[in-house]
Amino acid sequence: MPRVKVPVEWQVATDERFRRIVAHGSAWALPELAHSVHVEVNGLAPDREWFYRFRYRNDISPVGRTRTTPALYKSGGALAFAFASCQDWASGYYPSYRHMADDDLDLVVHLGDYVYEGGIPADGGYRKTSTPDVLRKAPQDLERWRMQYALFKSDLDLQAAHARFPWLVTWDDHEVKNDYAGTQQEHAGDITELRAAAYQAWYEHQPVRLRSHIYRRMRWGRLAQLDILDGRQYRSVPPCGWGEADACTGGYAPDVTMLGFPQEKWLFDGFAASAARWNIVGSNVMVGRLDHDGASGNRLWHDAWDGYPAARKRLTDAWVNHRVSNPVVVTGDWHSTFVNDIHRDFDRPGSPVVATEFVGTSISSNGDGEVYGPYYGPMIKYNPHIKFFDGDRRGYFRCTVRNDQMTADLQIVSTVSRRDAPESTFASFVVESGKPGAVKA
């Protein structure tokens, strides 16, 4: 593309063949933003599907499908959504997205690690697909980050899932640098410049609003409220050490935060005002405690909420104090599956269970290897609030929310070494309204 702005036409219709166009317009695609276009369409009727497309000169895009949420006052109904994370391109194909695109979902929630920050092998890793030499080195500037997104988004099954459903997206660490906190990373120090380039490329390539925080709220009538968090940009440097380390008193300091205090206030105010039957929080990292060594010590993974116990306690207190109806957390990051009871205070294991957490595995990261099963498996016995664990299967969760219950089906694929790998339901769970904690179905 030339370094000039160009007009891109857009249309929204009630049907896939565009016989009834209900909205249309033109948007400028700017070279400063990689000629990306972010269109916000107002005035569409609630609770129905729509089709959209773009045109630049004589080129017309494939047709996308989306839908509007039910009216805010509408009760009942159902919400079907999938949540996914962790899709390293070189670690495997994305057969899960192929199956997802054939499903009948209302929404996809992506919880981070959409791209990874490393260089790409010449043979494409698991994919055995030759890649250009320019991709060997890790992204350090904006142009190279754009190439990373172009490579990941070249996957046809990922494209199909984007075209089929609206997405709610947040980010985690690998969109910038492993385990970073705010503008700091353990080995790299200050990463402000790298982060700025990575953030811009993310914005250019993701379905997000023209101007907004990464964290956002979506209401599905009176059935569900979804709060999608930004757990990277505003967090404090973990006070007790990076990664795996012993707990310490520093994590309880009142100025240590996972979300930053403006986002925390936004979240808790949203809890207080919520009239929804189900209140779902999308978190990039695990809320539940994962004790690594039981009674013999106090070793935790400090990149997760375990590194920020006071912030977690403020979260659980907010659920209780605001009498939040049916809080459920959906989480990415771990390349493993956990189903957790969330206690009000993990320092008091006998404290009440106040919420449920589903931690999804990866779409492709770690490939078909057995990594986290052998690592985390021996720890599960020290954590009775972890009701289910699986370490090394690839896939995603498919969730259905109704007034009386929420179901979560763990959808796994047999391999990520090929696009057409079959899918199966490995386990299913139910959360009954008014009863925090999941039960295996």
Q: What would the two tokens of residue 85 be?
A: 């994370």
3-state class (DSSP) for residue 185: strand
pLDDT at 86 over 90: yes
- Asked whether 314 and 321 are in contact (CB, 8 A), the reply is no
C-alpha span between 27 and 232 (Å, rounded): 31
Burial-class residue 133 by CB neighbours within 10 Å (0-12, 13-18, 19+).
exposed
Looking at the chain, how many residues does it have?
441
3-state class (DSSP) for residue 16: coil
- Picking from 364, 350, 337, the residue whose alpha carbon sits closest to that of residue 440 is 337
* CATH number assigned to the domain covering 1-68: 2.60.40.380
C-alpha span between 223 and 77 (Å, rounded): 7
pTM for this predicted structure: 0.98
Domains of the chain, by residue range, sit at 1-68, 73-440
Over the chain, what is the mean pLDDT? 97
pLDDT at 297: 84
Higher-pLDDT residue of 295 and 45 is 45
C-alpha span between 400 and 223 (Å, rounded): 11
Average pLDDT over residues 177-183: 98
C-alpha span between 105 and 99 (Å, rounded): 11
Tell me: the pLDDT tens digits for 258-306? 999 999 999 999 999 999 999 999 999 999 999 999 988 899 999 999 9
Helix ranges, 308-377 (H): 309-321, 372-376
pLDDT band at 221; cut points 50, 70, 90: very high
- Asked whether 345 and 316 are in contact (CB, 8 A), the reply is yes
CATH T-level assignment (fold) for domain 73-440: Purple Acid Phosphatase; chain A, domain 2 (3.60.21)
C-alpha span between 116 and 297 (Å, rounded): 33
